[in-house]
Amino acid sequence: GFNDNPIFLFEFSLVEKIKGKVDQFSHTIRIKPKQLFAQLQKLKESKEASFSFRIVNEYPDQNTVQILDTSEIRFKANNSIDSLKSSLFEKSFYHVIDLHIEELVANWKGLSNFEILSIQLNAFERQIELAIQHHQPTLTVIHGVGKGKLKEEIHHWLNGKPFIRSYSDQFDPFYGNGATTIHFQY
């Protein structure tokens, strides 16, 4: 439900290139339940059929840093098969993904906490999809200790998914308390 504070990821791209504008970018928003219910109440009172939220004010220029260009996201993961040089194999078969923001995005210093969390969750979901596609038995997600918001969001996401047999964040000799190991079922 909407009490879960869902995150909406919008991806934009130009049909035809425009000089000085980015080719593509993404933007995430989280609609808080209070905002949604306030809009629904206004709708009810005005007897209208829809409402809208502004996602972005204008399409960003190439040198705009406010909105993260998804092409900047890169995955770096530790795995036990580093010696293999097949890039296709390496990109699709990570058993460990590190979600620390500095491992995912080159220029992260100006990002808000919300943007950082959104990038981390997006990377997490992409890696889950790859793990399932390749029928991996497990995936270890390094989320760090921190305030626990990322770990909380990951665990919330994992709950009730039919392809998740179990997950555990017990102490790990390699990652301490900052990782969750996911066991898949197929």
Instruction: List 181's β-bridge partners, or say none.
Output: 140, 168
pLDDT value at residue 85: 36
Per domain, the residue ranges of the chain are 1-71, 73-184
For 73-184, give the CATH class.
alpha beta
pLDDT higher than 50, residue 36: yes
Listed range (1-10, 30-39, 147-156) with the worst mean pLDDT: 1-10
Does the pTM surpass 0.75? The reply is: no
Alpha carbon separation from 159 to 129, 162, 182 (Å, rounded) = 16, 9, 11
Q: Does residue 64 carry a pLDDT above 50?
A: no
Residue predicted with more confidence, 156 or 170: 156
Q: What pLDDT digit, counting tens, does each position of 131-167 carry? A: 888 888 889 999 988 778 999 999 999 998 899 999 9
pLDDT digits (tens, 9 = 90+) for 91-113: 444 588 899 998 888 888 888 88
Mean pLDDT lowest among 23-32, 42-51, 137-146, 174-183: 23-32
Distance, in Å, from the CA atom of 85 to the CA atom of 95, rounded to the nearest integer, reads: 16
3-state SS assignment for residue 176: strand
Lowest mean pLDDT among 56-65, 81-90, 112-121, 161-170: 81-90
Per-residue pLDDT, 19: 86
Q: So what's the pLDDT on residue 155? A: 93
CA nearest to 66, candidates 107, 18, 127, 126:
107
35, two tokens: 């905002």
Q: Is the dihedral of CA 54, 7, 120, 138 positive or negative?
A: negative
Tell me the pLDDT band of 69, cut-offs 50, 70 and 90. very low
